[in-house]
Amino acid sequence: MIKTYFYRDEEKKILHDIDLGRIEDYLSSPDDLLWVDLFHCDDLELNYIGKVFDFHPLAIEDCLQLSPRAKVDKYDKYYFFVFHALHYDEESEDEEITTSELDVFLGKNYIVTIHKRPLAAVGKIVKQCLSQSRLMDRGPDYLLYSIVDAIVDDYFPIAERLGERIDDLEDEIYINPAEEVTDEILALKRTILLLRKVVLPQRRIFASVGGRYSFDVSPDNQPFYMDLADHMERIADTTDTYRDLVNNVLDSFFSLTSNRTNEVIRVLTIISTIMLPLTFITGLFGMNVPLPLEGTIEFKYMFWVIVAATALLSWSMLRFFRKNKWI
């Protein structure tokens, strides 16, 4: 599906669903701005847009294939971007975070966005553009900023929820160190890793090196891109912090599990150590052969003698263990 939005600077008015057959008329004035949005599009629609704007075949090929990393490519008359929006579903049985690719062509007075499925961030900007012209009267670079900023804003609730889950895990490992806790920790590690893989490449796109960006940005709009870069820095720093916290939680969980295992083994070892001589004594006197002292001690008292001896031996061993602080 192809949606078009055209801002005419003279009339301060926004038109939509225009005829792309008159593309030269719409792009004749540098003060006007054309936004073409494609979603749920097939190969025919994508190739049609490529012919209308004379996009490079390699850029169209990138739109047809999923790109795992954000990037920016410079062509003669336009820039080609790849961004990723995030969708978070904590109850998902597969991946908690999934990505949706957003491909953007940025020209002097036009912008083309391409995505496989509708994006909430793009829909938000479309509603704002239809209700007011301020997003389209500052140039295509400001419109690009608005779209990407809306995408980045959706990262913050995800990061906050991940932080809450980490806090809950830090308490849970001391209360209920079950196997489910390990699964939750590993799921969080995968989610944070995917979040970092999305954020870090996009952060590099909007990083200013020596006051210059990797694409053309008007001086009036540079403060907005500085703010956008700051947001991405915050998300990147947060994901790094969360990664370290999850690793610490996992280490603490393994330490607690190891300590509990050692405690159980220690108790079982003490029991086995105490039972070993008792088993020897009862086995010795249980042999069906003549034993020493049977002729001097009445046979009816032999049972109580053995019980007293084993009890005294057990008490002596327990006292020895306590004295050495083994229990």
Same-domain pairing of 236 and 208: yes
Q: Flag whether 262 is in a domain.
A: no
Among the candidates 233, 257, 281, a domain finishes at 257
| 13 burial via Cβ count (<10 Å: 0-12, 13-18, 19+) | exposed
Same-domain pairing of 249 and 181: yes
> Over its length of 327 residues, how does the chain's per-residue pLDDT go in tens digits?
888 888 888 888 888 888 888 888 888 888 889 999 998 888 888 999 999 999 999 999 989 888 888 899 999 899 999 999 998 888 777 778 889 999 999 999 999 999 988 888 999 998 888 887 778 888 899 999 999 999 999 999 999 999 988 888 887 777 766 666 778 888 888 889 888 888 888 888 887 655 667 788 888 888 898 899 899 999 999 999 999 988 888 888 888 778 777 877 887 787 887 787 777 777 766 666 666 655 555 556 667 777 787 888 888 878 877 777 766
Number of domains the chain contains: 2
Q: Quick one: pLDDT at residue 79? A: 94
Residues across the chain: 327
Written as six digits, the tokens of 185 are 């920790």
Residues in a beta bridge with 112: 36, 105
Same-domain pairing of 19 and 97: yes
Among the candidates 228, 257, 286, a domain finishes at 257
Q: Flag whether 263 is in a domain.
A: no
Residue 25: domain span: 2-257
Same-domain pairing of 221 and 278: no
Same-domain pairing of 46 and 66: yes
Same-domain pairing of 291 and 177: no
* End-to-end alpha carbon distance in the chain: 74
Same-domain pairing of 217 and 303: no
Same-domain pairing of 215 and 66: yes
Same-domain pairing of 59 and 82: yes
Nearest in space to 235 (alpha carbons), one of 147, 148, 160: 160
Specify the CATH number for the domain of residue 109.
3.30.460.20
